[in-house]
Amino acid sequence: MSIFTGAAVAIVTPFNEDTTVNYEKLDKLIEYQIENGTDAIVICGTTGEASTLSHEEHIDVIKHCVKTVNKRIPVIAGTGSNSTDTAIYLSKEAEAAGADALLLVTPYYNKATQGGLYVHFKDTADAVNIPCILYNVPSRTGCNILPETAVKLARDVKNIVAIKEATGNISQIAKLIQLADGCIDVYSGNDDQIVPIMSLGGLGVISVLSNVAPKQTHDMCQACLDGDFKKAAKMQLEALPLINSLFSEVNPIPVKKALNLMGFEAGTLRKPLTEMEEAHAIILEENMKEYGIY
């Protein structure tokens, strides 16, 4: 059984001016997502600035999200690391906190071999009892999970059940889905490829766009799940200018700016991320207005 179908939001972590976590605003964002049909929440992922959270903060944010969501939709905790031991530690803590599943990014900087990736993910998944989603994002990690490796992991490790595919390589994703023959669920990791990936058999998206347009992103995925790809394609194309603005600078710089413009008070960013350049911010605001969310 799939962890979720449809749109999961890769939710931001709101910060106060002193960059401590703003739990009150996080609650507000979570409620907004659930009210607008989001199918799952991914906490402490890339968009959640997990790379600058201490281990204690990381675990506390997961615990808080699990408590706030209170089983209304699945909570997927980002617990990946470039250290296998750290990934195991965070994964065990997230499981103990009540997370429904884990999101495990490929080890960054080390650039493991395919054999190294296999051992890393197997050891991490074997240390817990909840489902695990592999996260393939070579643009950030310098490391690519090849289709053969993902399929082998899914067949060999019972709780490796899905992959978030953010390679941007449709040919590779098509090969993965063909080789897997249903043994691993595939989610788009790129908002501009939701419909193409779902047309090949993907089950949804782990989305940045959902932070600011949760209903629209859910509805786009639902149209795909209903087999109405003409409607879904229209929605995908209408969203492209906004999606492009949300990635005009490194994520989550633009999406935090967008949420602040919408009045959600997502706050500042942790260094080395800095505020959005004014020229990009102007275009983002225009595209938000054009899309009808601001």
Helices and strands (H, E) in the chain, number of each type: 12, 8
Tokens of 155: 């067949």
Question: How far from 10 is each of 39, 178, 191, 252, 271, CA to CA, in Å?
Answer: 11, 27, 11, 10, 20
- Calpha distance 278→286 (Å, rounded): 12
Q: Which of 63, 164, 256, 257 is catalytic?
A: 164
Q: Are 275 and 266 in contact (CB under 8 A)?
A: no
Active-site residue flag, 32: no
Q: Which of 135, 187, 256, 257 is catalytic?
A: 135
Tokens of 96: 């103990």
Which of 269, 212, 288 lies closest to 53 in space, CA to CA?
269
Active-site residue flag, 111: no
Q: How would you class 94 by CB atoms within 10 Å of its CB: exposed for 0-12, middle for 13-18, buried for 19 or more? A: buried
> How many of the other CB atoms lie within 10 Å of CB of 290?
13
Catalytic residues: 135, 164
